[in-house]
Amino acid sequence: MEIKAWNFVLFSCLVVSFLASSSSAQTCVSQTFSNDRQYANCTDLPALNSYLHWTYNESAGTVEIAFRHTGTSSSQWSAWGINPSGPRMVGTQALVAFVNSSGVAQAFTTSIDSLAPSMQQMDLSFPVPSLSATFERNEMTIIAVLRISQNLLATSQVWQEGRVSNGQIQPHSTTGANVQSAGSINFLTGASRGSSSAGSRTRRRNVHGVLNTVSWGILMPLGAITARYMKVFKSADPAWFYLHVACQSSAYVVGVAGWATGIKLGSDSPGVTYNPHRTIGIILFCFGTLQVFALLLRPNKDHKYRLYWNIYHHLIGYSVIILSIVNIFEGFDILNPDDKWERIYIGILIFLGVLATFLEAFTWYVVIMRKKTNKQPHTMNGANGHGYGATAMGQRV
């Protein structure tokens, strides 16, 4: 019965998922426009709740387009454009729309020539005979006619959104869906897809986040817990040391891989910087490397410098753990993943905190009881025939 119930639940989830995906894939087909405008092709763009409709007129050499951005507001701007040089911001010939101070949707053309464009009205590299915009029911629609050459019929497309403040267009966000809003378009065949480079960059960002969360954010604290609490038990010596080294070494190797991925992402994204996240990441790499070298220079237990080495080792180690947790949450803000992933990591931290609290209390109890046992007067027990000497003699006999 239980297996059948689970099969039914699984089947139901698959059906619901299929229906949901089918309906979402057909969203643009059900959209309508004023003046009964009709378009031959449409596509649901993969980010920012956006849709593109178009009709290619071969004899006139024009493309009629309607770009619709849903779920927006009057305090945001919307833009769509094509970029012959690839699916990226710089080089985009853009159509921009926003609601002006009079409450009317206004559209203009601009060429994105840098990572910090002026967003002022200017002509594009091709004529735009007609351009207008409408805003109603939290939907911005840009209507335009583009006169483009044959070599632009298959090209890259970019779309974007951002805030409007005091009538001025503000820079868009550089996280989440705002860095995934690029792809390709073929006005002739109707083919459209998301950017493979944007998808690859997103995968690398996710890999970077996973590697660093597992290494710096989970393995490092586990290694510290192992060293602090296992060494209290004499039977765990020297196993605790090897476990500690294995845990921290694995964390360092995986963490360096995550750090290197972040450096590569930064070099591939000029003009996009996350200064606090980057700075903390570099500090973590330096501290982690210092800990590795400190292990190689670790003095013997009876060495006169061992106390200073211990202080240094603990300070750097706990600093790494604290900075790691801070930087992981910085990363969550940047990647903007589903809330469940942040909740999962918070749950892991709570578990580690509860575990450390329990072990702290238990090991203190063990240490206190051990001291009390060691302070018992051996001579009196020996005189009564129950002391260590009597026991030893009995064993020898």
Using the predicted structure, report yes or no on whether residue 247 has a pLDDT greater than 50: yes
pLDDT tens for each residue of 85-143 = 888 888 899 999 999 888 889 899 998 888 778 788 888 989 999 999 999 989 999 99
- pLDDT at residue 394 above 70? no
Comparing 270 with 171, which gets the higher pLDDT?
Answer: 171
CA atoms within 13 Å, Cβ hemisphere of 142: 29
Q: Are 343 and 242 in contact (CB under 8 A)?
A: no
Which range among 56-70, 177-191, 253-267, 303-317 shows the weakest confidence by mean pLDDT?
Answer: 177-191
314 is in an annotated binding site: no
Say what the pLDDT of residue 196 is.
Answer: 44
* Res 297: pLDDT: 83
- Which strand (E) or helix (H) includes residue 62? strand 62-70
- Write down the pLDDT at residue 143: 93
Q: Is residue 396 predicted with pLDDT exceeding 60?
A: no
Chain segment 128-174, per-residue pLDDT in tens? 999 999 999 899 999 999 998 888 888 889 999 999 888 888 888 88
User: pLDDT (tens digit, 9 = 90+) per residue, 329-338?
Assistant: 998 887 777 7
Q: What is the CATH number assigned to the segment(s) 198-372?
A: 1.20.120.1770
Query: Residue 6: its pLDDT value, please?
Result: 36
Contacts of 360 (CB under 8 A, 6+ apart): 229
Domain 30-194 sits in CATH 2.160.20.80 = no
SS3 label, residue 74: coil
194-227 in b/e burial notation, b at 16+ Cβ within 10 A? bbeebeebbeebeebbebbbbbbbbbbbbbbbbb
Mean pLDDT of 318-340: 87
Predicted confidence at residue 344, as pLDDT, reads 93
**Any binding-site annotation on 277?**
yes
The token pair at 192 is: 């459209």
DSSP 165-205: ETTEEPPPP-SGGGGS-EEEEETTT--EEE-HHHHHHHHHH
Average pLDDT over residues 52-79: 90
Q: What is the mean pLDDT of residues 358-365?
A: 90
Q: How confident is the model at residue 43 (pLDDT cuts 50, 70, 90)?
A: confident
User: What's the CA gap between 262 and 268, in Å, rounded?
Assistant: 10
Could you please report the per-residue DSSP string of 316-376? Answer: HHHHHHHHHHHHHHHHHHHH---HHHHHHHHHHHHHHHHHHHHHHHHHHHHHHHHHHHHTS
Q: What residue segments make up the domains of the chain, in order of their start?
A: 30-194, 198-372
Q: Are 214 and 328 in contact (CB under 8 A)?
A: no
Residue 22: what pLDDT?
40
Of residues 381 and 36, more confidently modeled: 36
Contact 145, 126 (CB under 8 A): no
Greater pLDDT, 316 or 380: 316
- Using a cut of 0.85, tell me whether the model's pTM lies above it: no
The mean predicted confidence, pLDDT, of the chain is 80
pLDDT at residue 52 tops 80: yes
Give ∠ CA 263-266-267 in degrees, rounded to 5: 90
Residue 381: pLDDT over 60: no
Q: Percentage of the chain with pLDDT > 90?
A: 27
Q: How confident is the model at residue 345 (pLDDT cuts 50, 70, 90)?
A: very high
pLDDT tens digits for 289-311?
988 888 888 888 888 888 888 89
What confidence tier does 187 reach under pLDDT thresholds 50, 70, 90?
confident
